[in-house]
Structure 1
Amino acid sequence: MRLRFLGSTSEAGACPSLYETDRGTIVVQGLHVTDAAALADLRHVLDGETAVEVPRELLVDIARRVLG
């Protein structure tokens, strides 16, 4: 799998960041959610999956640029 950087809302390109893959999917780079109450709200978490918190403005910005 290859990644193409889409953008970040953090300084110096650190996390959280979004990437597009050559498979047509999105990869999220960010800090793991560790709050027990928040993790308890997740549904159907499979082995190997984790939750990552991403600012809403990052998703909106990337959606506008990628989707036109």
Structure 2
Amino acid sequence: MKLTRLAGECEKGTCPTVYGVDGTGDLIVQGYVVDSPEALEAIQVPPGEAAVRIPASLIRRLANAHLG
């Protein structure tokens, strides 16, 4: 699986980042693991899925770079 970095909260290193999966149109989001039982229950994350938290500014950066 080949990934292309689309937007991140920092130039290099490990921080919340959005990647495109080449040839599919899918995205992979790197963020902070949501481990709050209350939050996970509220959004009902099923087996095989995970919830991550990312800054809203990352979505704005992604939209400006690729949709604007």
**TM-score, scaled to structure 1:** 0.83
After superposition, the CA RMSD in angstroms is 1.6
1:39 aligned partner: 40
Q: Which has more strand, going by share of residues? A: 2
Give the Cα–Cα distance (whole angstroms) in 2 for the partners of residues 30 and 59 of structure 1.
12
Equivalent residue pairs, number: 67
Counterpart code for 1:58: L
For 1:51, the aligned partner's letter is A
User: What runs of 5+ residues in structure 1 fail to find an aligned partner?
Assistant: none
Consecutive unaligned residues of structure 2, counting only runs of 5 or more, are none
Aligned to 1:53: 53
Higher relative contact order (CA 8 A, sep 6+): 2
TM-score if structure 2 supplies the norm length?
A: 0.83
